[in-house]
Amino acid sequence: MFALNPPKSNLFFRHSPPLLSAFWPRRIHVPGTRRRSVQIEAVVSGGDKTVTSSPLDGKERKTSVASDGGSDEGIQVRAVLTIRKKMKEKITEKLEDQWEYFINGVGQGIQIHLISHQIDPVTNSGKSVQSYVRGWLPKPSKVSYIVEYAAEFSVPSDFGCPGAVLITNLHSKEFYLLEIILHGFTGGPIFFPANTWIHSRNDNPESRIIFNNQAYLPSQTPDGIKDLRREDLLSLRGNQHGEKKHHERVYDYATYNDLGNPDKDEELARPVLGCHDMPYPRRCRTGRPPTRSDPLSESRIEKPHPVYVPRDETFEEIKQDTFSAGRLKALFHNLIPSLAATLSSSDIPFKCFSDIDKLYLDGVLLRDEEQHKVSVENLLVGKVMKLVLSVGDRWLKYEIPAVIKGDKFSWLRDNEFARQTLAGVNPVNIELLKEFPIVSKLDPDVYGPSESALTKELLEQELGGMSLEKAIEEKRLFILDYHDMLLPFIKKINSLPGRKAYASRTVLFNTKTGSLRPIAIELSLPQTHSSPQHKRVYTHGHDATTHWIWKLAKAHVCSNDGGIHQLVNHWLRTHASMEPYIIATHRQLSSMHPIYKLLHPHMRYTLEINALARQNLINGGGVIEASFSPGKYAMELSSAAYKNLWRFDMESLPADLIRRGMAIEDPSMPFGVKLLIEDYPYASDGLLIWSAIKEWVESYVGHFYTDPNLVTSDVELQAWWSEIKSKGHYDKRNEPWWPKLDTKEELSSILTTMIWVASGQHAAINFGQYPFGGYVPNRPTLMRKLIPQENDPDYVKFIQNPQLVFLSSLPTQLQATKVMAVQDTLSTHSPDEEYLGQLNPLHAHWISDHEVLKLFNKFSDRLKEIEEIINARNKDPRLKNRNGAGVPPYELLLPSSGPGVTGRGIPNSVSI
């Protein structure tokens, strides 16, 4: 059997009103077991024959014709519809339910057509029979929000196997259909997984098409449902006209032209991303009208109003509750510091480290009353504000982040700084230093001399007697190089109030003991008309002054790392890049296509979370601009990274490691690569996950594409890959590095990369945000001051009180608490999270192919083995980057997790 998330309760059926409770006195029992083997006993209408079967009985279900022993009168078939109601209903909604029960009971609520695989010679389309839902199946329920309805059909004996169901919702509002099960055909029940909102006929007169769980390549589609396959895809593509409505399921492309709000404020205008100068992946089109101020920009819908995403992409109720709670928490985290800033003359910095500790102990953020005596009563705020203040301590008390929970001072040490490049929240930027001298690729006429200030002599002073040549030859030198990515933006960033940044390079040395340590940091400012490019190199030094300056230099590097992590590695490379794959999958691959079925779990919630991010996080004036170093230029920086660095063929884990020089190709190794640093937790654990995904995908693809020509002749698949390149990543459509799609090996490679990005890659760089970033000095998201030089007016203050200067360079209390609230929310697993290798019990009938289920079961078992391997690694005293005094274990690539901020768990999709 394949692995399932253990259900939290047995799935019985909801109590129905007594009015029509006698309609279907038949017994259906769905035990809440791990196997969820559904035993169904149904008395065939008009006889006493009983059919008992299990949908997962160890045999692949074959298509079969309807039969009742050869009677010309046909057979009686029952369709059972499983519908999910709201978990928390208002009284008015419960009353509406009673009316729906009545309407359905009398056969006026839901119309159903069964469509056969076989062609009707009269209509030249699939044979069809029609019925209506009547009544319900009364059974005591522990899951009050699951309801089942039934419809009876009299089906001719030569009808054939039903391949599709057409649903017409005659009610005035939509409902959520989980699945349809047909009973009465030989070979057992036939399953039609839906997991979709069924729109009201008042909103759209077209019926919804639901296919059974048999996977077909386009060329294998039974004749009776070929037209429906095409029709369903056409409905999902829609057209380029009009604003999309809440109930619609239309997937289309648009540029990032909705980040700014020039109608509200000129300062909130933002350039369009997705053009020649600023390329970017495409997002899902909403069709909103342009702004009055800028015809190229789309008008915005501000929170709390929802941004359009296709109806089935929206959060389910459990997720909505979790995210709402997170947003509420963030609101209070922002509101109270904002009120504190109102009480004071301006936002205030941390004055001592105990101010930071208070965030975890009691949350005190208001200024000292002796400095600013203002009564809350004089703020002319309502009772809600007073109530907020009265409960402020509770709302503002943060959890102690994992990075300081075991060792409060670890962040100060060089070895912890280096450890986090391999086992932190952003372990994907460290590279092997392959050549020396280090040379910029930027135009020297614009940005100054291309050669780095990191000289041979300076580095050799830190190498303990080893020559630079030997260190490079032995592959002992590594670099975090943010110089070329950031230097074009530094002048603009430093013009923003309260922002000061450098372009940075950091060189690290792998010692003979196997520990990595930073040995030199280069910080650069761009050249101006009055001065040449400003480059300074810092080392850890041997006196108090140089030690403190070294700490400031490391803080600037961490700030750069935090911005690149959030805007490039997290948002661009996972969230934004996945969106075109999802849009193309819905537009070009039928839901009965085997590749659609493979990818479907890895698309869950992504469009919705991305829409929310464009509304609240990456928009002009949003949290990212307010809290991260690039400020209003944040998304321009992300676009530059897409233009200069992003390429699909480098998004696979082995290719990325090889590109960065962190691994070399080695066919003799288990994963085909050998790591240069064995104790590289992200890479070593990631390769385990990557290989498991690769094995699962290759076996799945091989099962369906048995003939070499099936890949090239698959019209849906070829259109899918073409559209990803030509529309989804339009600005990179002509790049030569796009993989071809001619063989099943190429298909497997493409799919493995997509699934890795959605699952393992996103998990590794997302769920550690609060555990590592929740302590501001460890990962400041911005710096407010440059490092004081000897001729600066503030240098004397630095000498007198370096701690105060260090803290005043970090984000303010308001900035810090804002970003901590966001990191806490983004690091949170929802209770309904679906993890890699697991399956929601309500989606158990996703495919009818028993061989595929065995392959999935093997994948699931492998992930359990990997979890044991990672746990053993975290206990290995030889692995210093994941084990030791106060060192948190590396758990970001452990497959499973519970809800909340756990610092572990790999969801199937980019879901937060």
Q: Which residue has the tokens 């479907």?
A: 600
CA dist list (Å): 288 to 291, 295, 307, 480, 616: 9, 12, 10, 41, 17
Under the phi-then-psi rule, with left for phi > 0, alpha for psi from -120 to 50, and beta for the rest, what region is 426? beta
Tell me the CB-side half-sphere exposure of residue 344, using CA atoms within 13 A.
18
d(CA 193, CA 215): 12
Confirm whether 529 is a catalytic residue: no
- 66 burial (CB, 10 Å; 0-12 / 13-18 / 19+) is buried
Helices 577-588, 606-616: inter-axial angle, 10-degree rounding: 140
Among candidate residues 146, 348, 519, 912, the one labeled active-site is 912
Among candidate residues 212, 213, 766, 881, the one labeled active-site is 766
Please say whether the beta carbons of 132 and 111 come within 8 A. yes
Reduced to 3 states, what is the DSSP secondary structure of residue 354? Answer: helix
d(CA 687, CA 591): 30
Please say whether the beta carbons of 553 and 521 come within 8 A. yes
Confirm whether 171 is a catalytic residue: no
- Record the tokens describing residue 432, joined without a space: 């092997």
Among candidate residues 183, 575, 593, 845, the one labeled active-site is 575
Total number of residues shown for the chain: 912
Q: Which residue has the tokens 């002009």?
A: 620
In degrees, rounded to 5, the angle at the alpha carbon of residue 609 between the alpha carbons of residues 603 and 614 is: 130
C-alpha gyration radius of the chain: 30
**In the beta sheet, which residues pair with residue 481?**
505
- Record the tokens describing residue 859, joined without a space: 């994948």
Buried b (16+ CB within 10 A) or exposed e, 398-424: bebbbbbeebeebbeebbbbbbbbbbb
d(CA 685, CA 697): 19
Please say whether the beta carbons of 522 and 453 come within 8 A. yes
Q: Which residue has the tokens 């469009």?
A: 607
d(CA 197, CA 85): 11
Can you spell out the DSSP letters for 296-337? TSBPP--TTSPPP--GGGSPPHHHHHHHHHHHHHHHHHHHHH
Non-local (6+) Cβ contacts of 838 within 8 A are 3, 4, 5, 860, 896
Helices 802-809, 353-361: inter-axial angle, 10-degree rounding: 50
Residue ranges of E strands in 578-729: 663-665, 673-675
Smallest CA-to-CA distance from 396 within 338, 319, 321 is with 338
- Record the tokens describing residue 2, joined without a space: 């394949």
Confirm whether 600 is a catalytic residue: no
Can you spell out the DSSP letters for 630-648? TGGGHHHHHHHHHHHT--G
**In the beta sheet, which residues pair with residue 256?**
273
Confirm whether 521 is a catalytic residue: no
- Record the tokens describing residue 409, joined without a space: 């001072």
Please say whether the beta carbons of 80 and 183 come within 8 A. yes
- 77 burial (CB, 10 Å; 0-12 / 13-18 / 19+) is buried
Among candidate residues 199, 556, 570, 586, the one labeled active-site is 570
Confirm whether 762 is a catalytic residue: yes
Tell me the CB-side half-sphere exposure of residue 525, using CA atoms within 13 A.
16
- Phi and psi dihedrals of 375, rounded to 5? -80, 140
Cα of first residue to Cα of last residue in the chain, in angstroms, is 29
Non-local (6+) Cβ contacts of 369 within 8 A are none
Instruction: Return the sign of the alpha-carbon dihedral for residues 643, 649, 652, 654.
Output: negative
CA dist list (Å): 300 to 265, 273, 275, 294, 616: 13, 15, 20, 12, 11
| Residues annotated as catalytic (active site), given as ranges | 570, 575, 762, 766, 912
